[in-house]
Amino acid sequence: MLVMLIAVLGVALVWMARESRDELVAPFLDDHWHLGYEVYDCGQLQPVLLNEFDPDGIHTHGDSLIHVHPFNSSATGVDARLGVFMDAAGLTVTNDLIDANESSFTSIDATSGCGDEASEIRVARYAAGNFESPLTEFDGDFRDIRFLENLETLIIAKVPVGGDMPTPSANVQAQLVSHGGSTNETSETPFTLDPLTGLPDGDTSTEDDAPADDATDGEDAES
Number of C-beta neighbours around residue 205 at 10 A: 11
Number of domains forming the structure of the chain: 1
Report residue 11: phi and psi, to 5°: -60, -40
Report residue 2: phi and psi, to 5°: -65, -40
Residue 2 lies in a domain: no
For the stretch 168-201, pLDDT in tens is 999 999 999 999 986 543 333 333 445 444 444 4
Residue 176 lies in a domain: no
Give pLDDT, residue 22: 47
pTM: 0.73
Residue 218 lies in a domain: no
Give the CA angle between residues 129, 91, 205 to the nearest 5°. 50
What is the band of 10 on the pLDDT scale with cuts at 50, 70, 90?
low
For the stretch 16-45, pLDDT in tens is 444 444 458 999 999 999 999 999 999 999
Cis, bond preceding 27 (omega within 30 deg of 0): yes
Residue 138 lies in a domain: yes
Number of C-beta neighbours around residue 10 at 10 A: 10
Q: How far apart are CA 112 and CA 221, in angstroms?
A: 42
Host domain of residue 155: 26-168
Residue 197 lies in a domain: no
Residue 21 lies in a domain: no
Number of C-beta neighbours around residue 67 at 10 A: 25
Q: How far apart are CA 39 and CA 49, in angstroms?
A: 9
Listed residue (155, 153, 47) closest to 101, CA to CA: 47
Residue 100 lies in a domain: yes
Q: How far apart are CA 219 and CA 51, in angstroms?
A: 19
Residue 200 lies in a domain: no
Q: How far apart are CA 26 and CA 68, in angstroms?
A: 11
